[in-house]
Every structure is written in C-alpha cells, then in structure tokens.
Structure 1
Amino acid sequence: MRTQIGIIGAGRGRMVLAHILAQQGIDAVVLERRDREYVEGRVRAGVLEQVTVDVMHSLGLAERLDAEGLVHGGTNLSLDGELIHIDMAGLTGGRTVTVYGQQEVMSDLFSAADARGVKIVWNAEDVAIEDAATDKPMLRWRNDGEAHELQCDFIVGCDGQHGVSRKTIPTGVLKEFERVYPFGWLGILAEVPPVEDELIYANHERGFALASMRSPTRSRYYIQCEIDERIEDWGDDRFWDELCLRLGPDVGGRVTRGPSFEKSIAPLRSYVAEPMRWNRLFLAGDAAHIVPPTGAKGMNLAISDVKILADALVEYYGEKSAAGIDGYSARALSRVWKAVRFSWWFTSVTHRYPDMDGFDRRIQMAELDYIRGSIPAQRTLAENYVGLPLE
C-alpha cells in the first residue's frame, strides 16, 4: 500500500487533518489502534475556540455544531463566592467560544469520513514507524493477525503521550519540558441543568471548582482534589456538598443536584516536546504537548497544529514549496507555548497549592481583584481564552 500522508491516531486533530487533506485532493490513511465506538465514546472537554469552529465550518461539518452548540460571549471567575464576569466578546471584537462536546465533534468527523474519501484503518495493532529519517518512511501494523505496511511521503504522529511517534525521534534531538501539578480534578457528569449560562472558574480557600455544561440539560462539574484521591470515597452527596461550598452561597444555593452517570479523576500537567518535526515525521496534538484543562486548550491546540500542518502540506504538493513544512515546528510551537503559558497562569491563580501560605493566598486574591478592576487585564484574559488567531 502507498499513500501521501500516513496519520497515526484517529482522534480530534488527526481526523480534522484527514478531512482537510481529502478536501484538497491529498491522499491520506489514518491508523487507529481502537475501534470507532471506543474513540467516539471517550468523555472529554467541550469548549471550542473560534479557530476550531471556523475550521469545522470550512469543512462543511458545522451543521450540528451550529444547531446544538452553546455560544458563550463571556465567562466568570469566582473569588470565595463573588463572581467576576469577563465580557469576552466585547473585549475581543466579537470573538466567542462554543460549548460542544468533543464526542460530538468526533461523531461529526467520523460520520462524514466515508462519503468524503477519508480512509481509516480501525484496530491497527503494533504500529511501527520505519525509515523516518529517509525520504521513504513506512508504517507497519497488524490487523486481525495479518501484517500490513504503508509507504508514505510523510508521517503525522497524533498518537498521544504513549504512542510510537514521539519515541521515534532520537533522544539527542528531542527536548522535553514538563511541569506536574500537585493536585487533580475530580469531575462528574449529571443530567441536571447548568447553574449558570456561562462557565464559572472558582477560587475558594478549600480549592478550585468549575461549573460547566454539555447542554441545557447536562452539567459537567469539577473540583480540585488530592492527586491520590479515590473515586470510591466520593459519593454524589459528598461531591455536591463540596462543590456548592466552593461556588459560594449564592451560586451554590442554585445548583440542581442529581445522580452522576460519569465520575473520574484527571491529573494535571504541562508538557511540551521540541521539535515537532524530524525529517519526514511530524508531531501534532497530545503527541507533542499537554496542558492542564484550565482554559480548555487541549483539543483546540491539536486543531491549530493540524491546520498549520495542512496548509503547509497543501503548499508542498500544490506549489512544490517546502517553506511551510520547514517552518511548521517553529510556527506551531510559538502558539503552543503561548497556550501553555496561559493554562499555567490560569491554574496558578485559581487553585490551592499544598505549600501555599497566607502570603501566597493574598497574592492570588490581589491578582483576581486586579482583573476585576482592570479592563486591560480582562482583555488579556479574554484574548487568550477565546484563542489567539493563527499567525
């Protein structure tokens, strides 16, 4: 088998890349080690930046997004129960974010794949990259016990932190940067209406909380927890009590409680791998970077990666110019590090750290109070939250 672009992983960014390439007449094959039901069913965040929404529109895949997505022109910070509203649309010239579950994004991408000629190989096991340092890289894998190989012009690794792609880059070439946070997020999904029309990021003396949603009838709530907490120790009543306490008496008193149907604990870390290109191998999405969920940058960064890469590949095949692919890593990393900075900063002003003392707490309070009274500070937050434009 032969293709122009071999893509490892069938998650959000890689499927967007496959659709863009198909739209431009560039042949690509996607290898995914799981089946569609598993990939589509994974519970992930669902705040889409304007760039992501624009990409879905450019692909003609925004019908359900427009019909069901919740457009947010603002967001809320909370300091010990007192709300600070950030008018994102007013501060950024009308730019917004849209709440639309990542599972729904995946469903839209998968449902249109066959009709658009997007080729996906499901249950591809033992994927290996060979000859990545040459001009004839190859992918090998097994499916139903049979061995397969795929000759490629380029390989795009979108296979996450534990995939083969990043491991293929030699140790002497790859540089890794990491910050592990000393807490996690305990989250639940419940069929109850959201407490507020827009998200609330709460800083409370007992720790962080987030009031989010997936639809007008489904809520997603999080609370900061110890990194070694056990889900079994958090019954629904205990979770609701702690959430309402951290949201404060006004907001907490308006929370609609109900049984959770999904509960999980997620660790938080910041991670970046450089470079994002080695010879004919490109990294994108979680294979190259991870951000804490504060600020909802994970999926959006993956989409911006592949949009930058897709433009470069279209230029390569259409204009016979390597300028775009040669500049991919630097251009993508510039955006990645800005998002990492914002997610780190947003986490630092909303969470309680184990070694925080009274001085640190007062600094947090002063920072949030400054944001409350400063339009330039609010504008900086808003610009980063809705997503910086592609440069």
Structure 2
Amino acid sequence: MGTIETQVAIVGAGPSGLTLAALLREWGVACVVIDKFDRDQLVARARAGFLERRTVQLLDRLGCSKRLRTEGLPHTACEFRCDGEVIRLDYADLCGDTPSFVYPQQEVVADLLDGYESAGGAALLGRPVVGLGTERELPVVRCADGTVVRAEVVVEAAGQYGPVRAALPTDAFTEYDVRHGVRLLGVLAQTPPFAPHTVYGQHTDGFAGQMLRSPEVTRLYLEVTEDESLEDWPEERIWRELDDRLSLPPGALRRGPVLERSVVEMRTWVLEPLHLGRVALVGDAAHIVPPSGGKGMNLAMADAADLAGALSRHFRADAAGDAPGTSARCWRPTRSGAWPTCGRCRSSATSCCTSSTARGPAPRTRGMSKHCGGPGCSGCGTTCPTRAPSWTATWARNSTRHSEPHGSVGARSRRGGVVRLPVESGYPHCGIGISPPVLAQATGAGHRPARWRPSAMLT
C-alpha cells in the first residue's frame, strides 16, 4: 500500500508492457509496471511464440535475447500446399541473414521481466487494477491492495479487456471490425512437426496448417463450418483431416495427445484513436489480428517501441524547457500532412469551440492540435485541463498512418460506434486485412487503411 509517483504507469506485464518499460528505463523515463498476475503466473501462461526478425533485433538491443538465440528454433521458411503442389519461400533469401524464431511468449515475458527488474525497474505484480481516476489534472491508477500510482501518462497494455480500457468512455473511440467468415479449429498436440517450418494447405474441404511451437509440441489448424463445435471433432477425425488436407503420406504426422482444442473466428479488430488524453493503448488493447499469421506479439512489441520513442522525446523536451513537438523523423507526413487550424488555439477549424469554418481557413501548419476532444475539453490548449500532451499526436501518426490525424484534429463521422466492414474478394488486403475501398466507404473519403511500419528505432 501507499502512493507512488512516476512519469509513466504501464498496466500489463506482457510483451508490449515490458518492452515499453525496458525502453523507457533505458532512455531515462521513470515508469512502473502493474499486473494482476504474480511472476509465477505470468511465466506459466503458455502462448504462441513466433518472433519476426525485427522483434529479434529489438530483443537484441535490449539485451534480452540470449536464451532466445540458444533455445529458440530458427524459422527460415514457409511452405504452401495446394492440389499436390508445394511452394516454399526461403526467408533468408528474401530478408537477409537475420532469421525469425519460434520461442514461446511466456519465455519472452520471463526474459524481459528479468532484464527490467535486474536493471532496477519497478514492477507491482499480483496487484489487480480496480480504478482509473484523476488528481491534480493527472491520471491515477488504483490497485486492489490500496496502492495508488500517480503518473503523467498511463498505458493500457493488458489486452482488449484490460481494466484501463474498460474505464474509458466507449463513445470516445471507433471500432473497426472485420469478420472474415472463416472459423479455425486450433489444436495444440504433443507431436513433433512434420516439417521444420510453417505450412499452409489449401484443400477443397478447407484450410489446414502447421505452426511450430517446440521440437515436441505443434500447433495445428483446420477450417471448420459455422455450425460445427468441438464435439464434432474427435481426435481421430482431426488427424485424418490433417493428413488429407495437407497431402501427407502415412506416418508423416505422428499421432500424439491433444493438449488443447479451441475454435477461433478469423477476425480483425482495430480501435481508433490509440489514445484518449493522457491514456495510450498498445497491443491487443488497440488491435486484434487473426492468429494464422503470427503477427500479434510482433505488432504489440512494435507498438511499444514506437510509443517509447514518442514518450522519450516528449519528456526530454519537457526537461529542456522546450515546447514538446514532433520530430521530422517521427512525423513522416502523408499527402495531407498539413491541416487548417484555428489561429487562436490551433484546434481543427471544424471542431474548435472558438472558431467557425465560415471565417475561412486558418493558416496551415504541420503542428498537431492541442484540442484533446475529451470530456470537458474547452477547445483551447491554453485553458483545457484535459488537453492531450504532444506525444499523442506523434503516437497516433506513427502507429496508424492515416491521411488524417487522430483524435486531436477533425471529427470522425462514425465516432463512438462499431463499423463492421465486409471483406472484399479479389482485393489484396492491406496490413490489417481491410481493403482501401471498404475503409474509405466506412470512414469517409481521403482515408487509407491502417498500416504498421517497422519502428523508427530499428532503422
């Protein structure tokens, strides 16, 4: 119990939260990590573990890749099977010498937590968050044991149903929800993989796939119909369908005990904007992608790297007495990088409470608005007590790359709702599985689909 004051409070000790904490500490920003699970529970939660080469490079930089390099399985290829034809893609030929790895997520968490705590990082584990409030115009996180954490910025890194996300007003965000019309039966089996890489199979009866987990455990997928449940898939049927759909010779895939079975709907979900005032969202709190591509943990850690860079620049600017702003390296403006703003408070000319579009466009600027758009905001950066700090502009622009800044500038026509987008056949999906025409139709002309880019810190 007691009160802790810090610059950044991170709720969630998963890959994104611990990556963010490690980077902030390295760059001299004080932070505290809070999680409802204790250490033993965190490292015992078995999760997927495909690490792209950029994620591996990030762990290298943090000094947390020693066990990954010695115990992880290098993942150097991907294979596609269809009607007896096999197409193999060699990652080394396409992407250079740095391989991807298969390494369980709980081991990534253990390595990041060891590195963070050994460097003196503060972690409040086994302390559920029960409330989010404000004191002296700054956010406050309250834990079940009475601990209070006062911070300048709070980051939700505890997933889609995390306590901070649940405390925020739903009408402050827009949800983009793509249902792909496909359900997969996921099977975790105690059997060695039949090939040393990922395999995707297309068959008249549906998709089948193999994802590596360890030399003794394999993740397998089968496409199932909407009306089928787990009871319709006994083990014998699972093994038979895998052999047929992947065109495997007898004995290639060894039968073994099925450790887990679950049915997953293929869904892409993105929340916008990625922050509200002084609260930011990373990882599954901001977006969910289908598991078949192995992107979830990699996107979450890329979120953390981008947000860490924006926050470190913000706090460095504060320490130097400068007005915090966005750097050219971070800004990366799109074709609509300049926006009409109010000459008085630099808010959007269409949303500022003290200006009107009838007065004509205000001077154009690449600076982001100080109008947070949150509850109780007066619209003027000089008087608004809930104004969002400048890092939020940087974070939103870095992470989503829309042609319109998020939250701070401009009103969204469908803000506060759920936009369910159809999946267009015959169109290459961009980044998150939403095609440009569909997203433009849902959000208004001039928008582009969200794309996740490599963190600037890794370039």
TM-score with structure 2 setting the length: 0.69
Name 1:315's counterpart in structure 2. Answer: 313
User: 1:329 maps to what in 2?
Assistant: 396
Aligned-pair distance for 1:85?
1.0
C-alpha contact 2:141 2:150 (8 A) present in aligned 1: yes
Q: What do you get for the CA RMSD once the two structures are aligned?
A: 2.7
Q: Any residues of structure 2 matched to 1:17-166 within 5 Å, and which?
A: 17-94=20-97, 96-131=99-134, 135-143=137-145, 147-166=146-165
Larger Rg belongs to: 2
8 Å Cα contact 2:63-2:115 kept in structure 1: no
Question: What is the CA distance between 1:291 and its match in structure 2?
Answer: 0.4
The residue aligned with 2:236 is 237
Aligned residues: 344
Contact 1:130 1:139 in 2 (8 A): yes
Residue type of the alignment partner of 1:196: A
Q: Does 1:218 align with 2:222?
A: no
Post-superposition shift, 1:95? 5.1
| Among candidates 275, 283, 286, match of residue 285 of structure 1 | 283
Would the alpha carbon gap of residues 343 and 100 (structure 1) be closer, same or farther in structure 2, given more than 3 Å must change? farther
Structure 2: how far apart are the matches of 1:87 and 1:159? 35
Query: Hey, what does 1:198 align to over in structure 2?
Result: 197
Residue 376 of structure 1: aligned partner:
none
- Does the CA-based 8 Å contact 2:32-2:123 persist in structure 1? yes
Q: Give the superposition deviation at 1:58.
A: 0.8
Give the corresponding residue for 1:367.
none
SS of 1:112's equivalent? helix
Question: In terms of mean alpha carbon deviation, does 66-75 or 269-278 score higher?
Answer: 66-75
**Corresponding residue number in structure 1 for 2:267:** 269
Matched, 1:246 2:282: no
Match of 2:109, as an amino acid?
A: M
Give how far 1:216 is off.
Answer: 2.5
How many angstroms apart in 2 are the aligned matches of 1:15 and 1:214?
22
User: CA, structure 1 residues 168+261, in 2 after alignment: closer, same or farther (shift >3 Å)?
Assistant: closer
| Partner residue, 1:183 | 182
CA gap of 1:43–1:204, structure 2 versus 1, over 3 A, is farther
Alignment partner, residue 260 of structure 1: 258
> In structure 2, how many angstroms separate the alpha carbons of the residues matched to 1:81 and 1:11?
41
1:37 to 1:187, Cα distance in 2 relative to 1, 3 A: farther
Residues 53 and 77 (structure 1), Cα distance of their counterparts in 2 relative to 1, 3 Å cut:
same
Q: Which residue of 2 aligns with 1:344?
A: 433
Return the structure number with greater relative CO, CA threshold 8 A, min gap 6.
Answer: 1
Residues 208-231 of structure 1: per-residue CA shift (max 9 Å, x gap): 111122223322212122356433
Distance of aligned partners of 1:255 and 1:343 in 2 relative to their CA distance in 1, 3 Å threshold: farther
Counterpart contact for 1:166–1:288, Cα < 8 Å? no
2:399·2:453 contact (CA, 8 Å) conserved in 1? no
AA aligned opposite 1:33 = K
Closer, same or farther: CA 10–227 of 1 in aligned 2, 3 Å: farther
In 2 relative to 1, CA 227–330 (structure 1 residues): closer, same or farther, beyond 3 Å?
farther
Give the distance between the partners of 1:81 and 1:34, measured in 2 at CA: 47
- Measured in 2, the distance between the counterparts of 1:268 and 1:52 equals 24
SS of equivalent residue, structure 2 residue 147: strand
When you count helix as a share of all residues, which structure comes out higher? 1
Q: Provide the identity percentage.
A: 35
Structure 1 residues 319-341: Cα deviation after superposition (integer angstroms, max 9, x where no partner):
43342623111211239xxx983
Alpha-carbon distance in structure 1 between the residues aligned to 2:23 and 2:431:
28
Partners of 1:296 and 1:282 lie apart in 2 by 24
3-state SS in 1 of match to 2:117: coil
Structure 1's unaligned 5+ residue stretches are 347-383
AA matched with 1:328: W
CA contact (8 A) 1:158 1:287 kept: yes
AA at the equivalent of 1:180 = R
Q: TM-score, normalised by structure 1?
A: 0.80
